[in-house]
Structure 1
Amino acid sequence: MVLTIILISGSACSELPYDSWYLGFGSPNYMEAWIETADVVDVRGQTFYRAMSGTTSINTPPNNLGRPHGWPSNPGWGAGKNVTGADLPKIIYVRWKSYADSRTYEVFITLNDEQRQAMLKGEKAYCAWRNTWIISYLKGVVIGLAPGGIAKAWLAGPCIESMEIGRFTGRVVKAGPDAGQPSPRLRPESRTYIEQYGIPYDSW
């Protein structure tokens, strides 16, 4: 399934108060994933194929010290790229390989008008690490990818609290890579955790 089959209705373009917005990805501890493609359709109907691909941001502490259950209340920006030339996002299509459960998933993440308007509002924020006040924007879309095809999305900005977009359930892509075999790319720390504790599907 690809974005070219979606009919996009016309929409007025936006005047972005920044040069580009950021698309970032993370996964729960030990639940490693590889993004085959993240395609974006903006409000003008422009499609940006492979706006992001590659590994998600993840922690794999040794000795099973990490906790993969649930999501952080204020996630980091994750591994990603700026989507240059795009207007505000309408749909984000993600196809990813979950190394943790050896399946390939795809999901459509949609943003509504209220969420897009939030990306345009500046907010005065104090950055402790810079010891200064700034005007910050929710100019990042951060997506968490978990086994079972679960995707959680937020709007994020520097030095301000994130805003939840929603929780989305993807579907298995039967023609995915590795034919369902265990992935050789899973790190030893991740394999050890999963073999000992399993995958906490219900926590995401």
Structure 2
Amino acid sequence: MKRLMLALAIVALAGCAAGQGRPRLPYDYWYVGIAAPRYMEVWVESVDVIDRRGLAFFHIHGGVVGYTGNPVGWHKGGGAMKQASNVDLPETLFVRWQSLVEPQVYKLRIDIPQWVRDEMVKPHRAYCPGRKQWRDNQYRFDISIGMAPGGIAKAWVGGPCLSNIEIGRYQARIDPLGPYEGNSNGRYYRPPTEAAQTYIKEHGIPYGSW
């Protein structure tokens, strides 16, 4: 009987999720970007999201990040982008990543303020340097997450032809389970590249610059 009730509950929840339909947004999807300072190498295990409907979506992004041109300080948004298809505007993001140069594993929860969701659906008229023209109905539909050693992270909201606006700076927690939630016998994705090792040997990790 308990198994039957559980099965019925799962079916009911699935029906509710399916009944939500496609998110009502002025674009087909928004994007998640992941990045890190140059040489401060990162492997992202997962980016998960709870959208404003309360629906959870797992592993909407992960893997290799985009790197900035400078190991010291932050870029201002961008990174390796991936579509968040059929996901409504984000309420909460969860990020879990391996800082390969330390090495250490961090996990972070980012609560997205309402002003960010408001900004994501606000149309702008903006000049696009690539097209060399002004365009209407430009949106900030990118959420970018930058990750640095020490578990420091920043998030921005931006979009094509539009500047990035900082959402916040965060301190992630160390995950005591280690890489891959303890399922890799302590093995990280890979060691740092030779270029990263050379930079860190000569200059160290610039803690405090992020």
Q: Tell me the TM-score normalised to structure 1 length.
A: 0.84
Distance (whole Å) between structure 2 residues aligned to residue 183 and residue 42 of structure 1? 29
Distance (whole Å) between structure 1 residues aligned to residue 124 and residue 102 of structure 2? 40
Relative CO higher for 1 or 2, CA cutoff 8 Å, sep ≥ 6?
Answer: 1
Amino acid at match of 1:89: P
Q: Where in structure 1 are there 5+ consecutive unaligned residues?
A: 1-11, 60-65
> Could you tell me which residue of structure 2 aligns to residue 189 of structure 1?
195
Higher-Rg structure is 2
| Deviations, residues 48-98 of structure 1 (Å, cap 9, x unaligned) | 100001011115xxxxxx6311112x33x2113110111110100000000
Does the 8 A contact of 1:102 with 1:181 survive in 2? Answer: no
From 147, 151, 154, give the equivalent of 2:153: 151
> Could you tell me which residue of structure 2 aligns to residue 51 of structure 1?
60
Please identify, of 145-154 and 173-182, the stretch whose mean Cα deviation from structure 2 is larger.
173-182
Does the 8 A contact of 1:36 with 1:96 survive in 2? Answer: yes
> Could you tell me which residue of structure 2 aligns to residue 126 of structure 1?
127
Q: Where in structure 2 are there 5+ consecutive unaligned residues?
A: 1-19
Aligned CA-pair RMSD: 2.1
Identity in percent:
41
Does the 8 A contact of 2:23 with 2:86 survive in 1? Answer: no
> Could you tell me which residue of structure 1 aligns to residue 15 of structure 2?
none
Does the 8 A contact of 1:102 with 1:180 survive in 2? Answer: no
| Deviations, residues 121-149 of structure 1 (Å, cap 9, x unaligned) | 01101111112222211100000011111
From 74, 90, 93, give the equivalent of 1:71: 74
Distance (whole Å) between structure 1 residues aligned to residue 27 and residue 174 of structure 2? 36
> Could you tell me which residue of structure 1 aligns to residue 139 of structure 2?
137
**More helix as a share of residues:** 2
Amino acid at match of 1:26: A
> Could you tell me which residue of structure 1 aligns to residue 110 of structure 2?
109
Moved over 2 A (4+): 12-15, 177-185
Distance (whole Å) between structure 2 residues aligned to residue 139 and residue 109 of structure 1? 17
Amino acid at match of 1:20: Y
> Could you tell me which residue of structure 1 aligns to residue 87 of structure 2?
86
Task: Give the superposition deviation at 1:184.
Answer: 4.3
Is 1:167 the counterpart of 2:173? The answer is: no
